[in-house]
Each structure stands twice: as structure tokens, then as C-alpha cells.
Amino acid sequence: DAMKMPRLEEVANVVLRVPSILVLDMLYKCDIDSFTDHLKARTEDMLFKYKYVIWNMYYLGHIVSAMVLLLPLGHIIQLYLHVLCALLLYMGHQIVRDYVRDEAQYGYDGALFLDPPALNRFVTALTSQIIVSTLCAFLMRTQHVWLFSAHLLPLLARVVSVRLDWLLSLSSVAMMITGAEVAVFLLANFFVPYRLARAAYREIMVTELLRLMAVGVSVWHGFAVPVLFSVFWYVLFGVQLVTNYGTVTAVQQGPLLYLLTSVSECCASPYSLLGLTFVVSYTALGLLSLCKVYLGGFSALQNHNVMHRGVTEGVTLLLLALQTGLLDMASLQRCFLLFIILFIVLTSTLQSMSEITEPVVLGLGASRNRSVLKHLRGLSMCGFLMVFPGFMAYKISQIFSMDFWLLILASSCMLTSLQVTGTLLIYSLFMVEVWRGAALPGLDEIVYYVNGVCRVLEFAVAVCVVAYGAWESLWGEWSWMGASVIIIHSYCNVWLRAQSGWKSFLLRQEAARKISVLPRASTEQLQDHNDVCAICFQDMTSAVITYCGHFFHGTCLRKWLYVQETCPMCHASIKPSSANPKAAADEAPPTHQNPPPSEQQPSPETHQEEEQGSQGDSDETDYKYSN
């Protein structure tokens, strides 16, 4: 029971705040201007007073709803208990009023025990009033049941055979007594909201800026804002589905368009748009988590990546909706625009799934994993990510006419399929190496060129998109938004990619130049050295000698030089220490190469396992650096 209480508090913390957001959402959708324009009054002065009252009630509704939303959980529970108690008292008043009217229509004012129908009505009304009074006392946590028993006055008067025309007056008196009790309670607690606001203001004023940010984060988690707005949106969406279900419009639209229309109707206010943002974020997180579980089991969920938690998808939807003015559009326009925005979000989710799948599939190929099921899972996910984006691009091109925005969407799908294709090609090279049982000659260069071709194609697609957008802006409809998108697209997808590719090319050229000037170890030197490469821990049938006298495989040292320009063993610069590099190599002592403890040769028991995985690790490292 102790463990269930915190869970119940979390549920109550969300459920009890949802009505406040629903009220705020309804108030936002209310067209007060149109309502006040249709008001009629005898004089202009009365009309002004009516409008003044309506507008003040409108603003008061916003203030009260916001205050209830921000109340601590304990105060919200107390508020709902008092509201429920007030509803029970009103129900008790209605029960007594109906009883008095029935008695007046029946016309019998004699002793109750002499008339069975009158006695039956009396017992029913009395039982109902006792239950109502007891429930009110229970909700208010008091033993003074008489405080909620004013509605018993007409019943007690009926017991002593009071005239029937007096019973209705006694019912009104009982209602007045109850109203007076409620008024006294409200006056006694009138300044409670003010005291809470003043206490919160004082706490904020004495809090430092950094602590204030921590308080904001604490409030965010304490109110469970993402879950709160998600539940609110699901309630709104469910009401929308139930309201329009079975209508002629819903039948004509079909299930998919009906769902999309319902979603668009549920993002017509800032509150519902924020709720949809969190719903999309949680949906993307669920899809990415399913992808991780499918590829690597439940243990893969422990690898937390901020970019793979659905935040990007939710923020993308919110920014696009605000940028395009989604809230101000008509229903049909909002539906089509939301379709495009959700398409962009789905494309982003598929891109994240591709980023999750790529290292898993390449790791399976490089590590020589023998699990057929894992390979099938990885390949099936790659097949899905290669085919489904193309299918999406084809479908959206069938629905809309080709323009700059559609080209960006289609190109994003094409790039996802292209990246997955490159991953499958590299995986195939790794598997060919496994089937051969020996290292492929020049695998490093092949992997680099495969990645290079994929990057060049991605760059070409980005350039085509920018060129088409610029051509459309010059000869078609020009807008600041389109120009800003072209500029951002040019910088992120053209300039940065070109800069990264050129930098990678220069690094490879520099590494190849340094390797080419290093002396090659002769057979006698390798026999005298009699050691493994300190980078891949494999035997050396050929090697290069650094100017500091260390022996490495040429390919291994080239991969190292992609990242650092120092010797892996002694961290000396890979540069000539004398005018004659050959002389520097001849001066290298033919002793065994003893790396530091963290880099020493593995023990004989584990050497065979490391030898099996080292080549794969080398290939995987080459893939990372060649990017």
C-alpha cells in the first residue's frame, strides 16, 4: 500500500489538472467579439455594461483556471472536495424540492403512516438526505453532520403534518440556510489564493537566478508537464472522435482522412498544439525504443542518446506549426498543413532510426557475430528503412504538385534510403571478408570510396534542392520564409557537408603523404623485432618504421594519423628527426616493442579471441574515421 500511494499521487497530479487546461482551451476558442456584437439592449449604456460584464467574466475564467492549474496537489484535492460537496448539497436541495412538489400534487397532508404511498416517498427522500449529509461530512472530514442537514427541515415539518403550502417555503428557507453557510465559508477563505500567490512570490524573489532555474525544472517535473498535456490532448482527441463518429462527413472522408481531420481539429489552440507536441515526442520515442529493442533487445534501451529520445521530432513540429501560422488557419488548410508537418516529423524519425541501425549492422559485420537472428533483424530493419522512405516520397508526390517544399521532403526520404544503402554495402564487404577467412586487400580504401560516393550523392541532392529553390524564388513566388529556408538549407546541407568532405580528403592525403615517406621494415628487421602491431595486435609481415623507431602496419598507422599526428606508442611527432629518414630507421633498436601497460600485448589465453575481433574492429574504426 505504501508503494501504491506515490503512484496514486502521480495519477491524481495529472488527472486533477486536466479540467483546468480544458477550460482554458474552451475559453481560447470562444469568439467573444462575435458574441458581444450580437447582444441587444434597451440603451447603449446597458449594452456597454453587458459587454463589460462578459469580458470580465472571460478574463476571470482565464485567471481562475490558471490559478487552479498552478495550485499544489494538496490544495487542488481540497478544492475538488469542496466542489463535490457543493454539488451534493445542490442535489439534496433538488431531492427535497421534488419531494415537496410531489406531495403538493398528491394532496395528502395527513399522518404519513396512514398512507403507504406518502410513507414510501418520505422514506426515500429521508434516506437520500441522510446519505447526502453523511457524504458531505465525510468529504469535509468533520463529525458535525448537522452542518449539512438544512434540507431536512421540510421533511421534519412533514412528519408533524405541517400544511403542504408551507413545505415549499421551508424548502426555500433550507436553501437559504445552506447558501449562507457556503457564503460564510467562502468569505473565511477569500484570501487563501492571495496568500498562496504572495508566498510563491516571496520564495521566487529570495531565490537566486541559478536556483530559480532549478526551481523551474523542479516545477516542470513536479507538475509532469509532458504527461499532463499529453493526457489533455488524448481527452480532446477522444471527444472529437466520439462527437464526429458516424456522421456523413466522417463516412465520406474514410478512416485515414477522418483521423487526420480529427487531429487537425485538436490543434486549434496553443494548449492543444503543445499537447500534440508532447504526443508526437512520446510517439517518436516509442518508435525509436521499438527499433532499439528489435535490433539489440531490451539491454539496448540503456544506451541513452538525447537526439534519440523524441525531443527533436516534438520540437520540429512545434517550430513548424508556429512558423507557418497553423493556429490561425481554417480547418481545411490546417488539415493539409498538418499532414505535411507530420510527414516531416516521420521523416526525421526514420532518419533517427537509420542512425540507430547503422552502427548495429556495421558492428555485426565487423565483429564476426555468428547469431543469424541478429543479422536477420539488422538486415530487415535496413530493408524497411531503404524501401519505406521511397514509398512515402512516392505517395506524397501523388497527392501534391511538385514545388520547393515537396522537393525538400522527397530529398530527405531519398537521403535516408541512400544512407542505408551505403551501410548495406559496407556490411556486405565485411561479410565477404568473413567468408574468405582472410583480410580483403585495400578494404580501407574500398570502405572510404563507398562512403565517399554516398556523401557525394547526398551533396549532389542537396545542391539540386538549393538550385531548384533558388530558381523558383527568382522566377516564381518569392517570400522571406522561402529565402530563409534556402539559406539554412545551403549552409547546413551544402556548405557544411562540402567543408567536412574536403577536410576528410585533406586528412587522408596528409596521412598518405606521411606514410609514403616513412621507411619500410625489411624482413631481417621484422624477424629481429618479432612483435605484433601495437594498434591491431596482429602479426606483421610488412611494416613501416616511425622516426622514433616503432613498427606498425602501414594501414593501421594511416588510420591513426586520421585522428592524431603523433606516434601511438611514445606520442612523438611523426616527422623526420634527421636529414636521412633511412638512417633514422636503421638506428632503431631491434629490441621488442614494449607498449605501456594499457596497450600491452594480450595474454596467450585471450589472444586468439582478440585476433578474431581485431580485424573487424580495425575495419569499423576505419569506417568511422573515413567519414
Phi, psi dihedral angles at 526 (to 5 degrees): -65, -40
291 is catalytic: no
CA distances from 44 to 31, 53, 54, 159, 472 (A): 21, 14, 15, 54, 55
Sign of the dihedral through C-alpha 318, 224, 240, 21:
negative
CA distances from 13 to 78, 228, 275 (A): 13, 8, 17
Give the integer Cα–Cα distance in Å for 618 and 48.
Answer: 81
Give the integer Cα–Cα distance in Å for 412 and 405.
Answer: 11
Give the integer Cα–Cα distance in Å for 327 and 273.
Answer: 8
Residue 331 CB burial class (10 angstroms; 0-12, 13-18, ≥19): exposed
> Scanning the structure block, which residue is given the C-alpha cell 481560447?
28
Tell me the three cell numbers of residue 588: 632503431
Give the integer Cα–Cα distance in Å for 548 and 494.
Answer: 41
| One-letter amino acid of 252 | Q
DSSP class of 31: -
Q: What is the distance, to the nearest Å, from the Cα of residue 106 to the centroid of all Cα atoms in its chain?
A: 64
Residue 141 zone, left/alpha/beta (φ > 0; ψ -120 to 50; rest): left
> Which of 266, 267, 533, 567 is labelled catalytic?
533
Give the integer Cα–Cα distance in Å for 52 and 302.
Answer: 58
Altogether, the residues listed in the chain come to a count of 627
List of long-range contacts for 438-442, beta carbons under 8 Å, 24+ apart: 439/615
Residue 553 CB burial class (10 angstroms; 0-12, 13-18, ≥19): buried
Which residues is 573 bridged to in the sheet? Answer: 566
Query: Helices 73-106 and 4-15: crossing angle, nearest 10°?
Result: 70
3-state secondary structure of 539: strand
Which residues is 544 bridged to in the sheet? Answer: 520, 552
Sequence-distant (≥ 6) Cβ neighbours of residue 100 within 8 angstroms: 154, 164, 167, 168, 171
Q: What are the residue numbers of the active site?
A: 533
